[in-house]
Homo-oligomer: A and B are copies of this chain.
Amino acid sequence: MTATTNRQVLLVEKPTGKLGPEHFKMSESAIPEPKDGEALLRVRYISLDAANRAWMHGATYRAAVETNTVMAGGGIAEVISSKAPGLVAGDIVFGDTGWQNFAAVPAKQLSKMPKLEPMTHLLSVYGIAGLTAYFGLLDVGKPKAGETVVVSAAAGSVGSIVGQIAKIKGCRVVGIAGGKDKCHWLTSELGFDAAVDYKDGNLFKALKAAAPDGIDVYFDNVGGEILEACLAQMNLRGRIGCCGAISQYDGAPQATGPRGVPGLIVVKRLIMQGFIVMDYMNQRDAALAELQSWVAAGQLKVQEDVIDGLENTPAALIGLLAGENRGKRMIRV
């Protein structure tokens, strides 16, 4: 490796409306020197997540991203050199590397990852996406065999795994996605029982047809109108796992919430529960073992959408927010 400069993508302006390429610019700097307790990383894959956009609105479960700094984002990286105990050159780690080729990151902010192939699986099924699906569905949604599970953004990195785990658990699974192709893929390739194209007109009616016995578990990645439609079709004592609100991220925050809150929550004794995968990290090993066994058995298909080139990271995120991707989108740096 002979690189001497660090290519970086800076966030130069926070969007007030839709995110566009003008909010970013490429930049170069010297490769950083790790301080005591830090490791110097070469970034291999950058994760693209709807949450990247949410961080631009302000502090969430992390501080807001700031302008004129390297855009924040999770990545899989290789340790080049280390001034931290427990990390040595050649180790593979996950952490907030930012959108750049090299990063010096405190070791305590990094998770050491197993060396497995393909490495991309560390960002998809064995990464945040897979673990979010696993814990959100099983711990929050608590589906029982025979129940109906609905998941939105069903063709995305999390949703596609949620639906497949729900099938493994013996549920009837309905995916909500944008466009005929994605919907066809969900039922023909991933084994979903039905799929609803939210771009195709009457969502409420289509959902009713796809989930004729009502909804027992709704895994919500999107919020907004889709949450509202699902709320109205929840069964008694249904569970709504609140994972994200993609529909609300790319633009100004919405001034209202879904109709039916709290009226339907009371009458139907619903539970709506928010969760963040980081809260489950002490149970990660057991979850990974189970996910690996499902992948090995062919019960869980892994879909990845890998785009080459750091310079394409902004366009890849913009496209993800528009629903371009199928499965886990990432940048090969």
Name A residues whose Cβ lies closer than 8 Å to a Cβ of B.
60-61, 220, 223, 227-228, 240, 242-245, 248, 253-276, 279
Give the one of A245, A257, A260, A262 with max B CB within 10 A. Answer: A262
Tell me, in angstroms, the Cα distance from A320 to B271 when the chains sit together.
29
Is there an interface contact between B227 and A262, defined as CB atoms closer than 8 Å? Answer: yes
Tell me, in angstroms, the Cα distance from A146 to B266 when the chains sit together.
27
Is there an interface contact between A248 and B273, defined as CB atoms closer than 8 Å? Answer: no
A-B contact pairs, 26 of them (CB 8 A): A223-B262, A223-B263, A227-B261, A227-B262, A240-B262, A242-B262, A243-B266, A244-B266, A245-B263, A253-B259, A254-B259, A256-B257, A256-B259, A257-B257, A257-B258, A257-B261, A258-B261, A265-B274, A266-B274, A269-B273, A269-B274, A269-B276, A269-B279, A271-B272, A271-B274, A272-B272
> Pick the contact of A257 from B244, B259, B271 — CB < 8 Å?
B259
Is there an interface contact between B275 and A269, defined as CB atoms closer than 8 Å? Answer: yes
Tell me, in angstroms, the Cα distance from A258 to B262 when the chains sit together.
8
A223 — nearest CB in chain B belongs to which residue? B262
A57 — nearest CB in chain B belongs to which residue? B263
Is there an interface contact between A274 and B268, defined as CB atoms closer than 8 Å? Answer: yes
Tell me, in angstroms, the Cα distance from A263 to B221 when the chains sit together.
10
Is there an interface contact between B274 and A270, defined as CB atoms closer than 8 Å? Answer: yes
A37 to chain B, nearest CB (A): 27
Is there an interface contact between B274 and A273, defined as CB atoms closer than 8 Å? Answer: no
Give the one of A245, A264, A267 with max B CB within 10 A. Answer: A267
Is there an interface contact between B273 and A265, defined as CB atoms closer than 8 Å? Answer: yes
Tell me, in angstroms, the Cα distance from A245 to B268 when the chains sit together.
13
Is there an interface contact between A265 and B255, defined as CB atoms closer than 8 Å? Answer: no
Contact partners of A61 in chain B: CB under 8 A: 267
> Pick the contact of A245 from B60, B255, B262 — CB < 8 Å?
B262
Give the one of A242, A266, A267 with max B CB within 10 A. Answer: A266
Give the one of A60, A227, A272, A279 with max B CB within 10 A. Answer: A272
Tell me, in angstroms, the Cα distance from A267 to B266 when the chains sit together.
22
Contact partners of A269 in chain B: CB under 8 A: 273-276, 279
